[in-house]
Amino acid sequence: MADPRATCLARLGAVVGEPHVLTAAGDIEPYLTDWRGRYRGAAIAVVRPSGTREVSAVVSVCADLCVPVVPQGGNTGLVGGGTPHERGDAVVVSFTRMNRVRALDADNATMTVEAGATLAAVQQAASDAGLAFPLSLASEGTCTIGGNLATNAGGTAVLRYGNARESVLGVEVVLADGGVLDLARGLRKDNTGYDLKQLFIGSEGTLGIVTAVVLKLASAPRSRVTALAAVADVGAAIALLRHARAALGDRLTGFELMSAFSLALSRRHHPGSPEPLPGHDWYALIQADDSAEDPALAARVEAMLAAAAGLGVVADATIASSLAQARALWAVRENIAEAQRREGPNLKHDISLPVSRIPAFLDQARRALDAAFPGVRYVVFGHLGDGNLHYNLSAPEGASAEAFVAADRLERAQRIVHDLVVGHGGSISAEHGIGRLKRRELARVKSPLEIALMRRIKDALDPRGLLNPGKVI
Ligand code: FAD
Ligand code: ZN
């Protein structure tokens, strides 16, 4: 009898060409470990198709042989969603070769692009056409638009433009049996029954494999101002957010909160980073954009900050006077995740809350966690404008980080944080998704009815459970 693994490899090779079926340990290693180094899987092979027809044929072969398929984009996901299981029975489908812009329609302000294009490449293509694709993440040089859709990514411009979902008009999807579902329409209005594309956005590769997307483009910003404000506490940051909204309206694109410790960590691991307003506990990074030329935008932001300072809301503030300064301010914020990785293993919570509940949550969580994990260090930052905090914990100074993140501690910390989040009407995953990391927690915090409906959707679209098994549900 033929070896089933050899049969699988031969059939995949016939579809994509042998050089694009990777099996050597050294070649597949980068696809088997997640960005955080938390999960390490195994796979029959990593397959790199060049287009939708090949993805469809690959998935058909896998369906035929009952082999699980794990889609993977840039592998920057933070919840283990793109890592195959340790069992090693799956095929990883990597999108690195599928990065073509199929069409850019400037009149319709849309772009149709293959799933493997990096977010940075999508932004650049939009900008080259005098438009903008506003989704913005620290991982944008590596993450792919397919991964962004699959996770319904958030990032630093959600306040104004929404999550990835809000920028998607159409998708092309390969289904579990290899069939191609073409929903790649560039329409802003389309009320013809159920909006099926929404099922695939945020489903983390468990319902279908996104091969191409139609994106809604925005006007390019013509004026941009970046400011950093120091505030005494998170309550003051929230008051400042309210001031900024009132003074700037739709121009307010980003409002990021950062604790002094998260900034110190960022600087420790990225020497040479600026430290413009030392000596405060909390900071807000604010960005205002206007799609029209507005020479008065900086003055507007300055007046808003001065008024907030007059009310005792802002302790100190600075406005970037050049593009380079603005970039440097953003770099310190965006380097926090990488700095935490370099600092060692950590426990991450990507939570969202009604903004008004955040101070109470922070007080209660700190008390409970200080008691459970004495000396724990809090790396708290995030998209305050969206009520989304990255509430991360690092091992106490001098303690073993590996021991700190042992499974029992992860579970204990998750329970403490998530129970408080749910108690305040929040979500245990604001933007990173569920993946493997939060699968059990999802089952714990969602109502049985919600879980049952999700299960029925999964069964309807992937009855044999071959698409990214062991993730989400
Ligand atoms: P991958 O990691 O490859 O995959 C993620 C999930 O999507 C997996 O479940 C995978 O199976 C599935 N998937 C991938 N491609 C497809 C496809 N074509 N079809 C179907 N399923 C697919 N996220 C945010 O939301 N906001 C942030 O601000 C943010 N900042 C980050 C900063 C850093 C430094 C890092 C490392 C990550 C950050 N992330 C952030 C997380 C991550 O970048 C996003 O989740 C991103 O959308 C993942 O894209 P990817 O291409 O890397 O996907
Ligand atoms: Zn984030």
Token pair in block for residue 254: 């980003």
Burial of 243 (0-12, 13-18, 19+ CB in 10 A): middle
Report the candidate in 81, 76, 10 with the shortest Cα–Cα distance to residue 47: 10
Secondary structure of residue 42 in the 3-state scheme: coil
Judge if 114 and 190 occupy the same domain: yes
- Secondary structure (3-state) at 384: helix
User: Are residue 143 and residue 114 in the same domain, yes or no?
Assistant: yes
- Mutation test of ligand 1: which of 34, 38, 70, 72 has the most ligand atoms closer than 8 Å to its C-beta? 72
- Ligand 1 centroid to Cα of residue 471, in Å, is 14
Assigned domain for 444 exists: no
User: Is 473 within a domain?
Assistant: no
The residue whose CA has the least distance to atom 36 of ligand 1 is 76
Q: Which ligand lies nearest to the CA atom of residue 208 in the structure?
A: 1
Domain end call among 190, 219, 248 = 219
Task: Give a yes or no: residue 109 inside a domain.
Answer: yes
Nearest ligand by distance to the CA of 467 = 1
| Spatial CA neighbour of 373 closest among 336, 353, 399, 345 | 399
Ligand nearest to the CA of 98: 1
**Which CATH number is 360's domain given?**
3.30.70.2740
Cβ neighbours of residue 97 under 8 Å, at least 6 residues apart? 20, 48, 49, 50, 116
Q: Give the long-range contacts of residues 307-310, CB within 8 A, separation 24 or more.
A: 307/243, 307/247, 308/229, 308/239, 308/240, 308/243
Show the tokens assigned to 397: 């100074």
Q: What is each CA distance from 368 to 140, 263, 299, 349, 413, in whole angstroms?
A: 35, 24, 43, 15, 9
Judge whether 422 lies within some domain.
yes
At CB < 8 A and 24+ separation, what contacts does 425-429 make? 425/353, 425/354, 425/357, 426/351, 426/352, 426/353, 426/354, 426/357, 426/361, 426/387, 427/351, 427/352, 427/353, 428/349, 428/351, 429/79, 429/350, 429/351
pLDDT, residue 406, reads 86
Domains in the chain, number:
4
- Regarding whether 330 and 259 lie in a shared domain, the answer is yes
Per the rule left: phi > 0, alpha: psi between -120 and 50, beta: everything else, 470 is left
Residue whose CB lies within 8 A of the most ligand 1 atoms, among 139, 158, 472, for a mutation test: 139
Phi and psi torsions of 287, nearest 5°: -125, 135
CA 23 to chain centre: 29
In a domain, 393, yes or no: yes
**Which residues does 354 contact at the CB level (< 8 Å), separation at least 6?**
387, 424, 425, 426
Give the domain CATH number at 61: 3.30.43.10
Q: Which domain holds residue 263?
A: 223-337
Q: Are residues 140 and 213 in the same domain?
A: yes
Say if residue 155 is in the same domain as residue 139. yes
Q: Which atom of ligand 1 is nearest to the CA of 144?
A: 51
Measure the CA–CA gap between 418 and 439, rounded to whole angstroms: 13
Shared-domain flag, residues 87 and 11: yes
Q: Look at residue 446 and tell me if it is in a domain.
A: no
**Pocket around ligand 1: residues whose beta carbon is below 6 Å from it?**
35, 70-78, 81-82, 95, 115, 137-139, 143-144, 146-148, 150-151, 153-155, 204-205, 209-210, 337-338, 431-432, 435, 468, 471
- 311 with 353, same domain? no
Q: How far apart are CA 174 and CA 219, in angstroms?
A: 31
Work out which ligand 1 atom sits closest to the CA atom of 431. 25
Helix (H, G, I), strand (E, B) or coil at 259: strand
Provide the token pair at 222: 């013509």
Q: Are residues 325 and 400 in the same domain?
A: no
Residue closest via CA to ligand 1's atom 27 equals 155
Question: Does 106 share its domain with 90?
Answer: no
Instruction: Give the DSSP letter string of 421-464.
Output: HHHTT-BSBSSS--TTTTHHHHHHHS-HHHHHHHHHHHHHH-TT
Q: How much distance in Å is there from the Cα of 153 to the middle of ligand 2? A: 9
**Ligand 1 atom with the shortest distance to the CA of 154:** 25
Same domain, 284 and 296: yes
Nearest atom, ligand 1, residue 95 CA: 18
215 and 303 inside one domain: no
Query: What number does the ligand 1 atom closest to the CA of 72 have?
Result: 3
Whether residue 472 lies inside any domain: the answer is: no
Q: Is residue 107 part of a domain?
A: yes
Structure tokens that stand for 300 in this block: 């507007």
Of 219, 244, 259, the one marking the end of a domain is: 219
**What ranges in 38-178 are assigned the alpha helix state H?**
52-65, 119-128, 145-150, 158-161
Atom nearest to 70 CA in ligand 1: 11
The predicted structure's pLDDT at residue 297: 97
Q: How many of the other CB atoms lie within 10 Å of CB of 289? A: 26
**CATH code at position 289:** 3.30.70.2190
User: Of 280, 288, 298, whose CA–CA distance to 230 is shortest?
Assistant: 280
Answer with the one of 311, 337, 363 that is the final residue of a domain. 337
Spell out the per-residue pLDDT of the chain, length 473, in tens.
678 899 999 999 999 999 999 999 999 999 999 999 999 999 999 999 999 999 999 999 999 999 999 999 999 999 999 999 999 999 999 999 999 999 999 999 999 999 999 999 999 999 999 999 999 999 999 999 999 999 999 999 999 999 999 999 999 999 999 999 999 999 999 999 999 999 999 999 999 999 999 999 999 999 999 999 999 999 999 999 999 999 999 999 999 999 999 999 999 999 999 999 999 999 999 999 999 999 999 999 999 999 999 999 999 999 999 999 999 999 999 999 999 999 888 899 999 999 999 999 999 999 999 999 999 999 999 999 999 999 999 988 888 888 888 888 889 999 999 999 999 999 999 999 999 999 999 999 999 999 999 999 999 999 999 999 999 99
**To test the ligand 1 pocket, which listed residue (70, 79, 151, 383) has its Cβ within 8 A of the most ligand atoms?**
151
Let me know whether 127 and 196 are in one domain.
yes
Q: Give residue 44 CA to ligand 2 midpoint distance, Å.
A: 33
